Structure 1
Amino acid sequence: MNILVLGSGGREHTFAYMLAQSDRCDTLYVAPGNAGTARIATNVPISVTDFEAIKECVLKNDIGMVVVGPEDPLVQGIADYFSETEALKNILLIGPSKRGALLEGSKERAKEFMLQHSIPTAAYASFTKESLNAGKAFLDTLKPPYVLKADGLAAGKGVLILQDINDAKQELENMLAHQKFGDASNTVVIEEFLDGIELSIFVLTDGEDYKILPTAKDYKRIGEGDKGLNTGGMGAISPVPFADTTLMNKIEERIVKPTIMGLKKEKIDYKGFVFIGLIKVGDEPYVIEYNVRMGDPETEVVLPRIKTDLVDLLEAAYRKELHRIALEVDARAATTVMVVSGGYPEAYEKGKEISGISSVEDSIVFHAGTAVKDGAVVTNGGRVLAVTSLDSDFRKALKKSYQNIEKLSFDRMYYRTDIGFDLS
């Protein structure tokens, strides 16, 4: 089977890396890809939201499966486009329908879904420009910190957590009246703040059955000790040490099962991944958010632990046959540490030549923001490389990742040295 992966980051390089190991994968394409995917697949210079160009690529290259990495094409309805296009309707597209993707495309829709299906989450209310004053009054009823979420997609930047009530009111005004996040903040969800420790649960579902994939915990802040600005993610660990059997049973019974049953009850076509961002408050799990695809950099630690053939797993999800397949997981821990451009997540320069990748041993280097220029691998994004390692526990795996990062070099290279600092 010829397979196409849509996307250009570390998540998509990880998918390509795993799919390429399957005996069932003949020719692998990645659109648009990066310098890492170019080594194991054929990169195709196509935008992930150019559905017509994707159609031409699929038909021209006799592609049988399309794995959608990022959220944008899902929210824009690529699954519906395939199912409604005669020439594409039998292609195995891994990703939910447009209705299903609204769980990530609209924070308000996600909260309504949780409320409707009795899934534990923080108390909330939604506001628009017209109800700005009511939003400010609602903030007065809450205790700090104050959580403001742009309803739509904002490239991971649409969530603000503020300590001062006046700052919160000003930022609410900036979002609603001055479109701080563009159309994404036409509606803003204000949430009760939940104090606890976060983790991520990944579920592969065919809309009826599901497989819970390995747990992961990522580190969003740019600075040591999880301080500073939010990023797309600076590193991740799998499994989560505190996700014991008791907690996982609560998560499955109270969150995973009601989520899948909710999709089924609402007759939502969903063949793909559900990424559930959770927070453990005391001993109880609550949902912070849904994503409708795999996370990044969590993918870089979750997929390498899956021993079941990934093509088989994804095909079973598409054909509603997940109940027939066993999920085998590597008992070892996996860690990834993200190497980023100086200045990220604010202004940074591209085009810096990267050296040392070929010197890495006993770790996997997943490319996140790279390109090839004049035969050399250069930086092409804020998050540049993810160095993933496996070992008997996460501390040993982290040691490998950090030892190999020391072999890498590019101008103003930065990484956090404390991934996993809060775990015992």
Structure 2
Amino acid sequence: MPDTDADTDTDQLRDSDQPGDPDQLRDPDQLRGVVAGFLRRHDRTGDRTAFLRARFDAGLAWVHHPVGLGGLGLPWHLQAVVDDEFTRAGAPDNRPRRNSIGLGMAAPTLLRHGTPQQQRRWLRPLWTGEEIWCQLFSEPDAGSDLAAVATRAERSGDGWLVDGQKVWTSLAHRARWAILLARTSSTGRRHAGLTYFICDMTAPGVQVRPLRQLTGEAEFNEVFLTGVRLPDAMRIGEVGEGWQVARTTLMNERVAIGGRPLAREGGMIGVLTDVWRRHPEIRRTGPHQDLLRLWVRAEAARLTALRLRQQLVAGQPGPEGSAVKLSFAELNQLISGLEIEVRGAAGLRHDDWTMRRPEEPDLLGRTAAYRYLRARGNSIEGGTSEILRNVIAERVLGLPSEPRVDR
């Protein structure tokens, strides 16, 4: 396993930061006391990274994680208690939107399928934001049909040599690590020939190129892998069982994209309702009825996503995440379309076509035209809407699957 400056022995915690009795900490007031004690012992105005490392080591990063892996073995809902106390104190957070793939996809996959050594190596710098992650899954001929992955990983001594091309890779230009799905066998069923790896994005043979999109930005990348050497210690799960590991990633990805925790009227529906309230001159009966219908759908989707996130943290990921992501994509496109309609000609002005390489899309802070253009991608990223409907039909509703030819 490669070493970096971020490596640490999490067993060597200060006595004052050792967690208390988990049963007592289930009481929110007791947990608030733990946070208060931590804040007294650590300077929240000093070194940001040192503060976040200490918070992780104290089990106050992901309270539902096991002790030693950023948590206290507590129920998931108590995370809100901890986060609220840190926010109220003005403590620095880990800038979660900078590392959405690491936090939303890589971390739950490592927690479920990684070895203890892998968990200790990667979870801490992932949570603190010291190491950014990206996802090397989709390929030019394997996007919706992910089982068609052609990137190959060949045995080479005590490791692997990887060759192939990945595409639509967010954050690849900033990432230190990537979750990688590669083909290790061409015999038998396609799903059975895949293996899951962690790829060092700074390794020789990794080339990242920007992909400029409809908004003018290059939020995504294409990644070329040429003779990239990976130690076997960077394999997650058994050889040939990458599809099972990838399913954990995909279920969490769809919730990460469509199920982010929001307050009522959070997200794009909040932008639209704010426009409606501030501009009485745009109000008409038809759009008003459309706005009300979208508001109700957005609130139902928000509550469904909240429930699903609780199931995921409880170790019960399921295909229901496809419905959340599907709803998110459709709602964003309908909401952005209605915003363009009510704004009229003013809504068509795009603020800037400058070539940028942002860390994430800014659906709330840019113009209506940007939101409309960027929302087109919501029904593609994280699984196309067509594929998600198949997942819902077959795995949620129990309908018969379509006849398929296994290549």
State TM-score, norm by structure 2.
0.26
The structure where helix makes up a greater share of residues is: 2
Which one has more relative contact order, counting CA pairs under 8 Å at least 6 apart? 1
The structure where strand makes up a greater share of residues is: 1
